[in-house]
């Protein structure tokens, strides 16, 4: 999670004396920025203000720019509603034309065609293509995922070299529940929680708010304390790896019967691995991530203590890992899933029998405005026809976006490990 | 730490079908970017390439821009050496005129006056004024802080409401050593490690590489496994706090004898609290951070098991917390310290006696090109004159920058808790 300190008073970063000048921050354009409001972030070069009526004012210093706009993710109308004007100090400012709905948002700026992250609002969230900052319009609909006065778990940043991927350096995030760090011998069940094509391993603990959602539900006694593992779903190396020890292995051959390879499903390079038992993502998950988790954390093992839930691309990865390896999982959650990989289910009668025995349920989460909604309906019917127990949450007016997946997580988590 | 996945193949983020289009990443200008090189990061809108001779090429898509430059922190000559030219696709590219010295760097772009973080190199590090990405020119001089094939500790992101600061939401980072997460009853000594005026609580585990430095030294048996607490040193709230529960308390009165209040020393609002026993930073550290650490982690207590080390502004905070509360600490480290707050030492003979009894040493780290070097020399003489045991590391050609503090940490850590 990237929530961080910000400078609510622009001058609080002043340095003492000339001897420290080499550490001086980038020059401030704060003089031209509006003062921080009651709902405002501070900072030197940008400012975001949430007005009392939930309109939002964006400001960015760009003295030589000719075109400035804001891009609020999944919100093209809101983005278009903000018109920026430049003041004499070179600061561009624009305000949404209407109050924004209660929700957690991600955004960045466009300055003369460049994609620009907010420098002052350091409540960052990474996507597969870069960085966005977040802001929250608070209300009853976000209370379940707000930071409350309850015991809190930790989010860990963990690095590892993935032997199945040729030794490249990768990262995952791990949530441990309140009290875990005091030690002892208590072991916990594990939820593997997978992001989508646009995300990375930080997504569930930033824009997804998985940690605070679980903190709140655990405090209410509604969720069993659990470890949540949030792996990286794209098969790429971390930065800082100027010379990886070895290139990743070539994509494996597709499972016969699958309709070709599917780019972007985490299977590896474009045109590479498919949704099969041995795609690169599964090799990393099963060959590196799961062993790391079992070796380093106090985890209960076996299907009754192991859940896997993923969204969109991560739902496809969940589908495959669960149905090719039903001996490992007891709970399966597919959020905004577009793919029904029947091969995984139908190719092996023994695996199908194991899945039906082990899976307490297959959970399906979706928004009713999601383009995958028809796929959800047919998938639900398919699982029913195969004799699986299903559970579902359809979010009204829900799109293919994080406000749906936040609600799905809060809905499915209480059902796990019961 | 912000090291994250990046897209080394620009197309690996492709989404499947139109139903997922709402989650589409910002439009890519990848077609106009140079291909990733052997040392290159990938990504849609920017690209950083480390050439075989350690020159570095920076590329950023900004089709409508008229002026693009790069700012490499602490390296004005390197920054000036990069001249950008725009190609027909609107991508600006520039290369350093000379190979860069082996070191970990931070940088961002300037596009028509706006400060722009690299969107593709998501190896981010926060400073007090915003975000920079990092890259490493690897060599013998960075080996001590590289990710090696050794057991690794975790870096935790921890949120808390600071009661001494009126309940504002704040964050800290905590390093737990390899094996800690397996639990048990073993307790560990604690190092409180404080950042400088330009940093925040993520600095020591990003640009400071504290976690990998310690992993490597622990693996060599040179450092005692310890918990490292990296608090936030500026007295500001986290973002996402549209309406903090209450404003922070007013700054306290300065200690008599101090030469007035010193802005930027973490004491609170400009013109506010001074370097004294009850400044706002100390209230947070002693009233919120230290109790949180003792309550939630398996820590050995008492001065023999508690160290405090800080750099620059954080050295001032370390100075005060150690000498006003010598009953709590056994090891004190001042890196690139500019201030000698004699009042803290000389005002109370009993405290001075406790300090001389408890402090195994006062460690002084500095670069010989740091503007604070004269202050270091007089401080060293002062501590000697007062009868303290001192230890020191002077880094040749070292400036007021992170390459010095990384070396200082690797030098002082083996001396702690012995």
Quick check: helix, strand or coil at residue A382?
A: helix
Whether A399 sits inside 8 A of B19 (CB atoms) is no
Q: At which residue do the structure tokens 């309550």 appear? A: B295
Q: Please tell me if residue B299 touches chain A, with a CB cutoff of 8 Å.
A: no
Q: What is the set of domains in chain B, with CATH numbers?
A: 10-16+24-138 (2.60.40.10), 145-415 (3.40.50.1820)
Count the Cβ atoms, other than its own, within 10 Å of residue A357: 11
Give the minimum alpha-carbon distance from B327 to chain A in angstroms, rounded to a whole number: 25
Q: How far apart are CA A374 and CA A368, in angstroms?
A: 9
Of A6, A62, A157, Cβ closest to residue B113: A62
Of A113, A129, A198, Cβ closest to residue B65: A113
Task: Decide if B307 contacts B363 (C-beta within 8 A).
Answer: no
Which of B264, B198, B115, B4 shows the shortest CA–CA distance to A124?
B4
Give the residue ranges of DSSP H helices in B201-260: 210-219
Q: Please tell me if residue B201 touches chain A, with a CB cutoff of 8 Å.
A: yes
Predicted confidence at residue A126, as pLDDT, reads 84
Whether B128 sits inside 8 A of A25 (CB atoms) is yes
Total count of residues recorded for chain A? 418
Whether B131 sits inside 8 A of A138 (CB atoms) is no
Whether B264 sits inside 8 A of A14 (CB atoms) is yes
Whether A22 sits inside 8 A of B400 (CB atoms) is yes
Q: How far apart are CA A290 and CA A200, in angstroms?
A: 17
Predicted confidence at residue B366, as pLDDT, reads 98
**Average pLDDT over every residue of B33-47:** 50
Which of A260, A262, A266, A293 shows the shortest CA–CA distance to A280?
A266
Predicted confidence at residue B54, as pLDDT, reads 95
Predicted confidence at residue B10, as pLDDT, reads 26
Q: Please tell me if residue A84 touches chain B, with a CB cutoff of 8 Å.
A: no
Predicted confidence at residue B302, as pLDDT, reads 97
Which of A205, A228, A200 shows the shortest CA–CA distance to A147?
A205
Give the minimum alpha-carbon distance from B138 to chain A in angstroms, rounded to a whole number: 8
Residues in A closer than 8 angstroms to B134, CB to CB, are 239-240
Per-residue model confidence as pLDDT tens for chain A (418 residues): 433 333 222 222 222 222 222 222 223 334 466 544 322 333 458 888 999 999 999 999 999 999 999 999 999 999 999 999 999 999 999 999 999 999 999 999 999 999 999 988 878 898 776 789 999 999 999 999 999 999 999 999 999 999 998 888 889 999 999 999 999 999 999 999 999 988 889 999 999 999 999 999 999 999 999 999 999 988 765 544 443 333 333 333 333 333 333 333 333 333 333 456 667 888 999 999 999 999 999 999 999 999 999 999 999 999 999 999 999 999 999 999 988 888 888 889 999 999 999 999 999 999 999 999 999 999 999 999 999 999 999 999 999 999 999 999 999 999 999 9
Task: Decide if A283 contacts A268 (C-beta within 8 A).
Answer: no
Whether B67 sits inside 8 A of A64 (CB atoms) is yes
Give the minimum alpha-carbon distance from B397 to chain A in angstroms, rounded to a whole number: 14
- What are the pLDDT digits (tens) for B338-384? 888 888 888 899 999 999 999 999 999 999 999 999 999 999 999 99
Closest Cα in chain A to B237 = A5
Tell me chain A's radius of gyration from C-alpha atoms: 23
Predicted confidence at residue A266, as pLDDT, reads 34
> The tokens of B231 are what?
């608090």
Sheet of strand A91-95: strand arrangement: A46-50, A56-61, A91-95, A85-86
Task: Decide if B118 contacts B109 (C-beta within 8 A).
Answer: yes
Whether B138 sits inside 8 A of A242 (CB atoms) is yes
Of A61, A155, A237, Cβ closest to residue B113: A61
Element holding B409 (H helix, E strand): helix B402-412
Q: How far apart are CA B211 and CA B230, in angstroms?
A: 11
Give the minimum alpha-carbon distance from A1 to chain B in angstroms, rounded to a whole number: 7
Give the minimum alpha-carbon distance from B353 to chain A in angstroms, rounded to a whole number: 30
Whether A112 sits inside 8 A of B243 (CB atoms) is no
Residues in A closer than 8 angstroms to B2, CB to CB, are 2
Give the minimum alpha-carbon distance from B414 to chain A in angstroms, rounded to a whole number: 24
Q: Please tell me if residue A26 touches chain B, with a CB cutoff of 8 Å.
A: yes
Least confident range from B234-248, B257-271, B324-338: namely B257-271
Maximum CA pair distance of chain A?
75
Q: Which residues pair with B92 in a beta bridge?
A: B60, B86
How far, in Å, are A208, A344, A360, B14 from residue A311 at the CA level?
A: 11, 18, 19, 15
> The tokens of A246 are what?
């070895």
Of B64, B154, B176, Cβ closest to residue A112: B64
A94 phi and psi angles, rounded to 5 deg: -150, 150
Q: Please tell me if residue B135 touches chain A, with a CB cutoff of 8 Å.
A: yes
- What are the pLDDT digits (tens) for B107-143? 999 999 999 999 888 788 987 767 899 999 999 999 9
**Average pLDDT over every residue of B87-106:** 95
> The tokens of A305 are what?
């203590």
**Average pLDDT over every residue of B228-251:** 59
Of B17, B22, B45, Cβ closest to residue A338: B17
Task: Decide if B200 contacts A15 (C-beta within 8 A).
Answer: no
Q: How far apart are CA B315 and CA B308, in angstroms?
A: 9
Question: Using CB atoms within 10 A of its CB, is residue B259 exposed (0-12), middle (13-18) or buried (19+)?
Answer: exposed
Q: How far apart are CA A265 and CA A14, in angstroms?
A: 47
Q: How far apart are CA A215 and CA A221, in angstroms?
A: 10
Closest Cα in chain A to B16 = A264
> The tokens of B219 are what?
């693996």
Whether B3 sits inside 8 A of A71 (CB atoms) is no
Which of A304, A291, A294, A362 shows the shortest CA–CA distance to A330?
A304
A 215-274 residues inside an 8 A Cβ radius of B? 232, 234-240, 242-243, 262-265, 269-270
- What are the pLDDT digits (tens) for B188-219? 999 999 999 888 899 999 999 999 999 999 99
Of A117, A183, A296, Cβ closest to residue B117: A117
Of B130, B171, B240, Cβ closest to residue A119: B130
> The tokens of B386 are what?
């007062």
Q: C-alpha A83: how far from its chain's center?
A: 30
pLDDT surpassing 80 at residue B23: no
Predicted confidence at residue A373, as pLDDT, reads 96
Whether B129 sits inside 8 A of A119 (CB atoms) is yes
Of A109, A152, A183, Cβ closest to residue B298: A183
Q: How far apart are CA B386 and CA B27, in angstroms?
A: 63
Predicted confidence at residue A243, as pLDDT, reads 35
B95 phi and psi angles, rounded to 5 deg: -130, 140
- Report DSSP state, residue A32: G
Predicted confidence at residue B237, as pLDDT, reads 56
Q: Please tell me if residue A44 touches chain B, with a CB cutoff of 8 Å.
A: yes
Task: Decide if B316 contacts B200 (C-beta within 8 A).
Answer: no
pLDDT surpassing 80 at residue B229: yes
Q: Please tell me if residue A22 touches chain B, with a CB cutoff of 8 Å.
A: yes
Of B9, B122, B202, Cβ closest to residue A4: B202
Nearby residues of B396 by Cβ (< 8 Å), 6 or more positions away: B367, B368
Residues in A closer than 8 angstroms to B169, CB to CB, are 3, 147
Q: How far apart are CA A39 and CA A51, in angstroms?
A: 6
Quick check: helix, strand or coil at residue B52?
A: coil
Which of A375, A404, A380 shows the shortest CA–CA distance to A391?
A380
Whether complex ipTM tops 0.90: no
> The tokens of B298 are what?
């398996």
Closest Cα in chain A to B242 = A39
Q: Which residues pair with A395 in a beta bridge?
A: A367
Predicted confidence at residue A131, as pLDDT, reads 85
Q: Give just the sign of the alpha carbon dihedral B198, B44, A202, A62.
A: positive
Average pLDDT score over chain B:
82
Count the Cβ atoms, other than its own, within 10 Å of residue A89: 12
Q: Please tell me if residue A323 touches chain B, with a CB cutoff of 8 Å.
A: no
Q: Please tell me if residue B159 touches chain A, with a CB cutoff of 8 Å.
A: yes
Of A17, A116, A128, Cβ closest to residue B116: A116
How far, in Å, are A409, B297, B304, B357 from residue B331 at the CA level?
A: 45, 20, 8, 11
Q: How far apart are CA A328 and CA B145, in angstroms?
A: 37
Predicted confidence at residue B126, as pLDDT, reads 85
Closest Cα in chain A to B75 = A22
Predicted confidence at residue B109, as pLDDT, reads 95
Q: Please tell me if residue A14 touches chain B, with a CB cutoff of 8 Å.
A: yes
- What are the pLDDT digits (tens) for B247-304? 333 333 333 333 323 333 333 333 333 456 667 888 999 999 999 999 999 999 999 9
């Amino acid at each position: 999670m990237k929530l961080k300190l910000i400078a609510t008073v622009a001058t609080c970063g002043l340095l003492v004396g000339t001897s420290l000048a080499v550490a001086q921050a980038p020059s401030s354009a704060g003089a031209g920025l509006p003062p921080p409001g009651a709902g405002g972030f501070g900072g030197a070069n940008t400012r975001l203000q949430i007005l009392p009526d939930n309109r939002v004012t964006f400001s960015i210093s760009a003295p030589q720019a000719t075109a400035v706009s804001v891009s609020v993710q999944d919100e093209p109308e809101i983005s278009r509603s903000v018109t920026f004007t430049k003041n004499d100090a070179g600061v561009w400012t624009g305000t949404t034309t209407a109050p924004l709905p209660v929700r957690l948002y991600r955004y960045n700026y466009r300055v003369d065609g460049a994609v620009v992250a907010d420098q002052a609002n350091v409540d960052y969230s990474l996507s597969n293509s870069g960085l966005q900052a977040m802001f929250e319009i608070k209300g009853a609909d976000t209370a379940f995922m707000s930071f409350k006065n309850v015991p809190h778990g930790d989010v860990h940043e963990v690095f590892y070299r993935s032997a199945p991927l040729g030794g490249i350096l990768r990262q995952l995030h791990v949530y441990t529940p309140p009290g875990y760090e005091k030690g002892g011998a208590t072991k916990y069940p594990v939820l593997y929680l997978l992001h989508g094509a646009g995300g990375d391993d930080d997504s569930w603990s930033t824009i997804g708010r998985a940690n605070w959602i679980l903190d709140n539900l655990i405090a209410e006694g509604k969720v069993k304390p659990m470890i949540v593992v949030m792996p990286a779903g794209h098969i790429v190396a971390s930065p800082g790896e100027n010379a990886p020890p070895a290139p990743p292995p070539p994509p494996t051959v597709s499972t016969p019967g699958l309709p070709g390879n599917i780019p972007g499903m985490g299977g590896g390079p474009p045109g590479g691995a498919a949704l099969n038992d041995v795609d690169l993502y599964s090799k990393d998950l099963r060959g590196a991530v799961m062993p790391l988790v079992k070796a380093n954390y106090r985890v209960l093992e076996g299907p009754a203590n192991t859940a896997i839930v993923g969204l969109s691309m991560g739902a496809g990865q969940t589908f495959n890992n669960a149905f090719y390896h039903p001996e490992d999982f007891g709970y399966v959650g597919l959020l905004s899933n577009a793919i029904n990989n029947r091969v995984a289910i139908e190719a092996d009668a023994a695996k199908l029998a194991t899945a039906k025995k082990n899976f307490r349920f297959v959970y399906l989460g979706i928004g009713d405005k999601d383009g995958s909604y028809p796929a959800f309906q047919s998938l639900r019917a398919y699982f029913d026809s195969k004799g699986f127990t299903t559970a579902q949450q359809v979010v009204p007016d829900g799109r293919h976006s994080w406000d749906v997946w936040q609600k799905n997580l809060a809905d499915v988590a209480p059902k796990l490990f019961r």
